[in-house]
Structure 1
């Protein structure tokens, strides 16, 4: 707004109008500044609030995820079945040390094998995996091991013929070291093993099958079965597989033989 000339005839009137317009313009400007300030503060407040909400949601989600993971671990850990292998040490008569390896799962022990594998020790595990027999080949002894590590020699210590003649294992092997007193012990059932022997004959190379009840330690000769070459194989529904001079037969837990 231009300032009126002091020499104008209505100078004072025009100055009053000019001052009113200036005051009005200033008031309008102040009002606009106030409204602008309020508006900007409101936007900033809303933005800050939204940001805090986002942060809060992120933290909440993280906590929920963490809690979810903890719950998952707590529910899955008890169902995990841990297997742990341990072993019983056995020293054979020739000084060799072998290990009867067993596994513990759900607090239950079961035999797995004999280590080291290169020891070539003949062994057999019962069908329920709670017992193991090993052959100490030098001493010709059958060692029975239960799942708690208790060990005992279950070899037949002597043979008594029908006429009362007694032959002990010690005396026979001392006189004839190559004689087969017992060999290849193999489980037929949880309570019975079979083994190969030249008993009851002394002067023959023919071999026979014997069984032993490991509970009462009684030994029985399987009648009518003999051969120059006898081998045991796996257990089937028919019984323990026996190969006699190339012929396959089956031995059951009640000492019967079938083809």
Structure 2
């Protein structure tokens, strides 16, 4: 746009129009510049938003993948731990007359249940592991538990002397609570157990060893063992180990005693 001649008749009018057009042009340029800036900033902000959104989605997906992996790991059973826990949880709880519960631990081997030996001596396990012996000291009762958890009291309920005199367990313990009717039951083999008793004497403090057959429930006193202190230990090739007043002897199911 050329500048009008100063000698023109419409100089003033043309100058005003020239100035107005110039202002309009400047304002238009400024508006275009502002619009360009606004557009660029908006586009940049959108890009930033989209970038942030994509980033967040990636983080979220990674986190979800990790959570799923952790969940799968936690849901998969640890075979070794499960096996160990299962072995420790297989047990039969037997309630004694004192109200105390005793757990008899067993393991499953194939289709068979086998009792585990008790290191604390709370109960005794037969050589085959098919049965366990538990002594209820309050009632002086010998309890036999089979591999299916069936319990039976195998205590001798009465003693019949050679003269025919009958001494009932309950009567004797009621009148003399300190009397040892039976104690410390132990397996000699799968079919016979040994226990300590003051029978057949009533007025003596000496103790004796009796053998009970689990098949016919017969009780037979071992003739060659007598002492004030009798303790049973483990079974070896000689038989059941017994410590009688500090002396070690070995007892077999037939009643024979060797040193």
Provide structure 1 residue ranges, at least 5 long, that are not aligned to the other structure: 1-76
Q: How much does 1:121 deviate?
A: 6.4
Q: How much does 1:140 deviate?
A: 0.2
Change (3 A) 1:113 1:237: closer
Alignment counterpart, residue 94 of structure 2, candidates 87, 90, 93 = 90
SS at match of 1:163: coil
Q: How much does 1:254 deviate?
A: 1.3
Q: How much does 1:199 deviate?
A: 0.2
RMSD across aligned positions (CA): 1.7
Partner of 1:104: 108
Provide structure 2 residue ranges, at least 5 long, that are not aligned to the other structure: 1-78
Partner of 1:239: 239
Instruction: State the distance in 2 between where 1:220 and 1:153 align.
Output: 18
Higher strand share: 1
Q: Is the 8 A contact 1:141 1:154 kept in 2?
A: yes
Give TM-score scaled by structure 1 length.
0.65
Q: How much does 1:224 deviate?
A: 2.8
Q: Which runs of 4+ in 1 moved over 4 A?
A: none
Instruction: State the distance in 2 between where 1:248 and 1:148 align.
Output: 35
Q: Is the 8 A contact 1:133 1:185 kept in 2?
A: yes
SS at match of 1:174: helix
SS at match of 2:171: helix
Q: Is the 8 A contact 2:224 2:257 kept in 1?
A: no
Matched ranges for 1:16-35 at <5 A: none
Instruction: State the distance in 2 between where 1:122 and 1:229 align.
Output: 19
Matched ranges for 1:191-206 at <5 A: 191-206=191-206
Q: How much does 1:215 deviate?
A: 1.3
Deviations 1:35-55 (A, max 9, x none): xxxxxxxxxxxxxxxxxxxxx
Q: How much does 1:107 deviate?
A: 2.4
1:171 aligns with 2:175: no
Q: Is the 8 A contact 1:131 1:144 kept in 2?
A: yes
Give TM-score scaled by structure 2 length.
0.65
Instruction: State the distance in 2 between where 1:138 and 1:192 align.
Output: 23
Instruction: State the distance in 2 between where 1:123 and 1:181 align.
Output: 18
Q: How much does 1:109 deviate?
A: 1.1
Partner of 1:229: 229
Partner of 1:144: 144
Instruction: State the distance in 2 between where 1:220 and 1:158 align.
Output: 13
Matched ranges for 1:18-167 at <5 A: 84-85=86-87, 86-113=90-117, 122-167=122-167
Change (3 A) 1:143 1:107: same
